[in-house]
């Protein structure tokens, strides 16, 4: 987890700078570099209709990573893919792990219950 944690700052910055275009990255990049669907399809070794389906699938958020990567490579681009914690839910991967660890949730509930009774795990430890 430490390796992920070290990358979190850069990944979070990239996330905020890389909002997906409304019609998808494939179409936006293809149009920006002046290629037609037929040209990208030829470079990806697929029919134009298949490539058009890739763009449509990306717009609907149903494209496979393999198709997205193949299309990106056909435009001399690289697919960059990552998952980061949602800001309000957790700030770090460690926060996420703690949120999703049933033992951790149970420990918090026990601490809260004990604190209400006048004790607490923190008090017991010190």
Where exactly are the structural domains of the chain?
A: 2-74, 93-125
pLDDT of residue 77: 97
Q: In whole angstroms, give the CA distance from residue 35 to residue 30.
A: 5
Q: In sequence order, which ranges of 18-125 are alpha helices (DSSP H)?
A: 25-32, 37-44, 48-59, 65-74, 93-100, 102-116, 121-125
Q: What is the CATH number of domain 2-74?
A: 1.10.260
pTM: predicted TM-score of the whole model, two decimal places = 0.68
For residues 81-104, give the mean pLDDT: 73
- Give 48-77 pLDDT, tens digit per residue: 999 999 999 999 999 999 999 999 999 999
């Amino acid at each position: 987890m430490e390796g992920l944690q070290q990358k979190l700052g850069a990944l979070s910055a990239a996330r905020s700078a890389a909002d997906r275009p409304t019609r998808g990255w494939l179409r936006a990049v293809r149009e920006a570099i002046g290629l037609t669907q037929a040209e990208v399809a030829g470079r990806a070794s697929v029919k134009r209709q298949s490539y058009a389906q890739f763009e449509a699938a990306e717009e609907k958020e149903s494209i496979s990573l393999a198709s997205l990567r193949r299309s990106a490579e056909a435009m001399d681009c690289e697919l960059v893919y990552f998952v980061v914690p949602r800001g309000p839910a957790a700030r770090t991967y460690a926060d996420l792990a703690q949120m999703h660890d049933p033992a951790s949730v149970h420990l918090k509930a026990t601490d809260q219950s004990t604190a209400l009774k006048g004790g607490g795990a923190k008090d017991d430890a010190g």
